[in-house]
Structure 1
Amino acid sequence: MARFTLIALFGSLLAGIASAAPVPVKLELAARANATGTFTEQDYSAFQISDGVGGTAVDEANAVFVDPFDGVDLSTVSSDTVEAINTMREAAESAETDDFDPQIDAATGATADALSVGKTKNKVLKLTGEIQAINIKIAQAQASGADTSDLEDSLNEEQTKLNTNIAADKANAGKTSQGVA
């Protein structure tokens, strides 16, 4: 992966010389800086996406778990960051089982409906975090030459669940969504 980055940087340098345009070195440096600190572990109430309306969960979940790694070589992500992702994903999972389920069971009418929409958005959030952690583990395993077949099987399984919940969220587009945080 490092060779690919070096080749890409060298290619950018040559393209910059050929076109007399500035070389995007600042962008490359910014990407490396992202790997060292733009993802910060947060309490569930700070990153939950269930309030608002349905239909936007994939973008909101990506903003939490995927976008901070835009342009980052996932094989360079620290174990502390992976642990933070997992901690946040576990918080979303706990919210689902410990908070959403009992509140939905106790609610009726519009409140129950809004909580159900929020639970679906929360599932998208949880699964997006799970998939991002798996993608990082795959990138790290590939960088070290390790077998990734078990991780890829897990990724496919979680992606299937995520696709189901994204479709359910899109079916809820515009409906009131209520969180539990």
Structure 2
Amino acid sequence: MRFTVALLVASAAFTQARVFTQKTYDEISISGGVAGNGEQEALAVFSELDLNDLASADEADIEFLDSVNSICNDAEKEAFNKAIDAADGEEADALQRGKIKNKILKLEATMLRLMIEQAQGADVADEMAAELKKLNNNIKQDEDEAGNASTALQFDAETD
């Protein structure tokens, strides 16, 4: 009986460690709506993560964050860049604003992954500084366009 209870407790603790579940790109995308709040929208996607206990984050959550980066990169190259090239005027501008919000989501995922790795003992300070510079640049671009329409594009991809 004790073994069963211990096994259940250990199993529950292991299950609770992973906070993110598999999502499609369209489920996590923040590109639509209006520009100006991309940072807050991106952070809301990752709100399940306990920022006060990053050292105990599960490897599956690190993989999730890495896959968010990857699918956002793919969406940028395979969807946004092509759509922007084919558009003009306000349509192209709204797509560009959506692309910037997509980059914010990608970079927030990367920063969270790096923060976890740092909390777990990895030396990632240089990479964090480089990614933070990119993130801040994209946040500023998003804020500069606050209130303007931002176009989302559907993209067929899933996180890990």
Same fold, TM-score > 0.5, yes or no: yes
Shift of 1:33: 9.5
Whether 2:50 is the aligned partner of 1:74: answer no
Alignment partners' CA distance in 2, 1:63 and 1:35 = 20
Q: Percent identity?
A: 37
Whether 2:133 is the aligned partner of 1:160: answer yes
Whether 2:21 is the aligned partner of 1:40: answer yes
Alignment partners' CA distance in 1, 2:24 and 2:44 = 15
Asked if the contact 1:35/1:76 (under 8 Å) is kept, the reply is: no
Whether 2:144 is the aligned partner of 1:171: answer yes
Figure out how many residues of one structure are paired with residues of the other and give that number.
142
Shift of 1:36: 1.9
Alignment partners' CA distance in 1, 2:21 and 2:53 = 17
Q: Which has the higher helix share?
A: 1
Instruction: Quote the RMSD (CA, aligned, Å).
Output: 1.8
Moved over 4 A (4+): 32-35
Asked if the contact 2:19/2:61 (under 8 Å) is kept, the reply is: no
Question: Gapped runs of 5+ residues in structure 2?
Answer: 1-12, 155-160
The 3 A distance-change label for structure 1 pair 54 and 47 is same
Shift of 1:115: 0.1
Say which one has the larger Rg.
1
Shift of 1:38: 3.1
Shift of 1:112: 0.7
Shift of 1:169: 0.2
Shift of 1:111: 1.1
1:48-127 correspondence to structure 2 within 5 Å:
48-65=29-46, 67-127=47-107
Shift of 1:108: 1.3
Alignment partners' CA distance in 2, 1:55 and 1:173 = 4
Q: Structure 1, residues 33-92: CA drift from partner, whole Å, max 9, x if none?
A: 996243223110100000000001000011113x22235411111111111111122111
Alignment match, 1:22: none
